[in-house]
Amino acid sequence: MLTAAPWSSTGCAPAEHLDGPIGSDGHAVAVDEPDDEEGEGPAAGEASFTTREITRDLAYPMRIVWGPDGHLWLTERTSKQVVRVRPQDGLRTPAVTVTEAFQSGGQDGVLGLALHPDLLQGKGRDYVYVSYTYDVDPGAAVDRRTKIRRYTYDPATETLGSPLDVIAGLPGSDDHNSARLLFGIDQKLYYTVGDQGNNQFGRKCLSIRAQELPTAADVAAQDWAKYAGKILRLNLDGSIPGDNPQIAGARSHVYSYGHRNPQGLTFGLGGMLYANEHGPKSDDELNVILPGKNYGWPHVAGYQDDQAYTYDNWSASSPDSCESLWWNDYTPPPSVPRQQESAFSHPDFEEPLLTFFTVPSGYNYFDPACGFLQYICWPTIAPSSLHYYPAGNGNPAEAGIPGWGNSLLMTTLKKGALYRVKLSTNGESVVGEPVVLFKTTNRYRDLAMSPDRRTLYVITDTAGNTSGPTGGATTALENPGAILEFKYTDSN
Ligand SMILES: [Ca+2]
Ligand SMILES: [Ca+2]
Ligand SMILES: [Ca+2]
């Protein structure tokens, strides 16, 4: 069923949703950017797109990918389903319910999704990979872990069956699971594991393990507890690739470490791997991921600049025990040890390519406009996905959207927007300022593209907090649990 959005089919979102200048007819005016290296002219701005809500009221969609069957494949976190959606009319076909999945909190359930590139290619590898949290405590208590499972798709019944566990016993939490699953161009699985939300809120007395590395004994015992705050690289059968980096004397699934909450992961030109991750109050990061490198968390947020971040380790509180303390997001009690970023030193430390956003020390994080939802007004934007937008290589059929070639696209939860970051020709640096597009009163969770890369599909959270249409914070989402279509039209 096609549900019309308040702003659908007009080819123009209401002015209050747009960042750019508004023309006399109320439509946004494309903002010219400097020409890119290919001389394509100005990059297409949001005035060049029509918008449409394909469906809504999905059960917290987490991942959306374009399938070879012309359908959009999604995970729904709270229904525990993989669902296929026909983009023309929003028709939904559930492919499987992961009954073993456990979901009770705000960030657990059925999460990651990756399609094998041979899916529906007649090669006998109709495989779909899914990640989810499950409960290993047989009693009333809950003890989450995460599993990556492979299913086989049967096009006759349009269902996923023959479940086969790729890896089990990964860290699992109700917070900061990250859980982006990517099928690599090297036929490996890449998977992000967040810091589990430790050292904050209700988990303030659990230490962050992002700097802890598995030993050979851990690997032999298949003890994956130290995989929190890591990006993993796995063989398709779950084993450890022989060419994974040897870090601190042991080879494991760990590809990179020192991560907080990396929700975006994508391959760029020449196989370069990029990730983004949520910062604390400042310093969401965009990183180039290199094997064996240390991305600094929790000792460093963003650049190692001692600006507006210190590592306050609640679990090490003394003499007052952490359990006796009240959580405070701004000024911890004096018993909590505080470390400046400059106190950290590591030969494999990598700084980010870009931050969203770094603020000076002494920055006042309190904004009365956000009331009790202060975090919505913090400088971070909560990047929720990352997608490489390739250049067309001179082929007009692959030209995509003018000026967008060799960019990274990232969705954000706060401010409900798509950020487009132009890369340099070698992909190792950023060109100009990020461009903010398609801003609505929603939480954008992930993005898929049509094969011609001219139509973008964005999924939104079913509920939650985001930036209000005129600033401040709101819980009133415009398109809850929706797929929004942004279709490029070159008629402008
Ligand atoms: Ca239990
Ligand atoms: Ca970092
Ligand atoms: Ca910093």
Ligand closest to the CA atom of residue 303 = 3
Distance (angstroms) between ligand 3 centre and the Cα of 194 equals 19
Tell me which of 17, 71, 176, 278 is the catalytic residue.
176
The set of residues, in sequence order, having a beta carbon less than 8 Å from that of 30 and lying 6+ positions away, is: 20, 42, 44, 45, 46, 47, 48, 492
116 is catalytic: no
- Going by C-alpha positions, the residue among 366, 299, 308, 306 that lies closest to residue 337 is 299
- Distance between Cα 142 and ligand 1 center (Å): 4
**Residue 141 C-alpha to ligand 1 middle, in angstroms?**
4
Give the model's pLDDT for residue 397: 59
CA distances from 457 to 128, 173, 407, 418, 489 (A): 20, 28, 17, 11, 15
Residue 270, helix vs strand vs coil: helix
Residues with CB under 5 A from ligand 1 (ion): 135, 137
pLDDT at 382: 98
| pLDDT at 391 (0 to 100) | 87
Nearest to 25 by CA among 43, 45, 4, 47: 47
Give the C-alpha separation, 367 to 472, whole Å: 8
How far, in Å, is the centroid of ligand 2 from the Cα of 55?
Answer: 36
Q: pTM of the entire structure?
A: 0.92
- Mean pLDDT per 10-residue segment, the chain (492 residues): 31 31 31 43 90 98 98 98 98 98 98 98 98 98 98 98 98 98 98 98 98 98 98 98 98 99 96 97 98 98 98 98 96 97 98 97 94 95 97 70 95 96 96 97 98 96 94 95 96 56
Strands annotated E in 352-476: 354-356, 387-389, 407-411, 418-423, 430-437, 444-449, 455-460, 466-467, 473-474
- Judged by its nearest atom, the ligand closest to the C-alpha of residue 298 is 2
Site of tokens 């995460």: 146
431, 422 contact by CB (below 8 A): yes
The per-residue pLDDT for 40 is 54
Strand partners, 463: none
Per-residue confidence (pLDDT) for residue 29, from 0 to 100: 30
Q: Residue type at 338?
A: R
State residue 143's pLDDT score. Answer: 98
Ligand 2 centroid, distance to 344 Cα (angstroms)? 12
Cα dist from 451 to 53, 300, 457, whole Å: 19, 39, 12
Tell how far the Cα of 283 is from the centroid of ligand 3, in angstroms. Answer: 7
Domains for the chain: give ranges and CATH numbers.
15-488 (2.120.10.30)
What is the number of the ligand closest to the CA of 293?
2
- What gap in Å lies between CA 319 and CA 334, rounded to an integer? 10
Alpha-carbon span 431 to 441, nearest angstrom: 28
Q: Note the ligand closest to the C-alpha atom of 104.
A: 1
Residue 481 CA, distance from chain mean position = 16
pLDDT at residue number 27: 32
Q: 205: part of which helix (H) or strand (E)?
A: none
Angstrom distance (rounded) from CA 461 to CA 442:
7
> Which residue in this structure is represented by tokens 């699992």?
172
Residue from 439, 450, 340 nearest 397 by CA: 450
Note the Cα 306 to chain centre separation in Å: 26
What is the CA(102)–ligand 1 centre distance, in A?
9
Q: What pLDDT is recorded for position 399? A: 72
